[in-house]
Amino acid sequence: MKLDHITLLVTGASRGAGAAIAKQCAKYGAKIIVHYNGNKQAADAVCAEIGGNAIACIQEDLSQAGAGTRLWEKAVAQVGPINALVNNAGIDLVSDPFGEEIEWADAWSKIMAVNLQAPADISRAALRDYKAAGEGRIVNLCSRASHRGDSIDHAAYAASKGGLLALSKTLARGAAKDGVLVYALAPGWINTEMAPTDPAILEPAIAEIPYGKFAEPSEIGAMVAFLLSDLCPSATAATIDINGASHVR
């Protein structure tokens, strides 16, 4: 499997699944643009590990208005044409309907900005370039919660990921005629720093997974690499579940 034909922007690539995606795709030959929010040291470390295939490292706070469009424009200005995008960056905050109004409103505002508005804006910018080029690829990191929902105090997260999944399907259907391939991944828990460590949460989380463990970031990276390889372009619009059989559709 080769990705020599791929120039890839990965959002949230300084850690976790984003870093794994960047590293795995680079191993197969893709040229990588690493996006980060605040941790430049971590982003630089990812670029150093990737080596020469890391062609840019760009900061942008995706919670801010217009950040998605700015990120794409910065990336294109630095490296030229980009033909692949992975919308990986995401946040999760408590959005308890029984909590305080200000906390509820703040969580919804921030989560929707980062998890849905920014990916939509980046994808819009990408689609315009892809249409002119006659080809392009988008992979959106959705969630098991896109299908089954989440705990009631994480309603905003589930809604944002459900929206991202609907966006993925819409773009896939509407842009296929322009040579654009769009995929969604719907992981459950991934073994990153965002995963629970409190035994009271960790043990039940693992107990509901028939496979018995969280997905590894490298698994997410491997699946993205395969999708970007163009070995199965007719899978466009597909949603790939990576959850250890904890949610079977």
| pLDDT tens, N- to C-terminus, the chain (249 residues) | 999 999 999 999 999 999 999 999 999 999 999 999 999 999 999 999 999 999 999 999 999 999 999 999 999 999 999 999 999 999 999 999 999 999 999 999 999 999 999 999 999 999 999 999 999 999 999 999 999 999 999 999 999 999 999 999 999 999 999 999 999 999 999 998 878 877 888 898 999 999 999 999 999 999 999 999 999 999 999 999 999 999 999
pTM metric for this prediction: 0.96
Residues designated catalytic? 157
Residue at 15 is within a domain: yes
Residue at 249 is within a domain: no
Nearest C-alpha neighbor of 228 from the set 166, 135, 129: 135
β-strand partners of 141: 185
Residue at 199 is within a domain: yes
Residue at 86 is within a domain: yes
Question: Which residues have CB under 8 Å from 24's CB, separation 6+?
Answer: 218, 221, 222, 224, 225
Residue at 41 is within a domain: yes
Cβ atoms 29, 229 nearer than 8 A? no
Residue at 99 is within a domain: yes
Indicate the burial class of 196 (C-beta count within 10 angstroms; 0-12, 13-18, 19 or more): middle
125: how many CB neighbours lie within 10 A of its CB? 20
Helix ranges (H only) for 176-241 are 199-207, 217-228
The 54-59 sheet, strands edge to edge: 54-59, 31-36, 7-10, 84-87, 136-141, 180-187, 239-242
| Domain span holding position 102 | 7-241
Nearest C-alpha neighbor of 63 from the set 93, 90, 32, 85: 90
Q: How many domains does the chain have?
A: 1
Residue at 168 is within a domain: yes
Cβ atoms 24, 46 nearer than 8 A? no
CATH of the domain at 212: 3.40.50.720
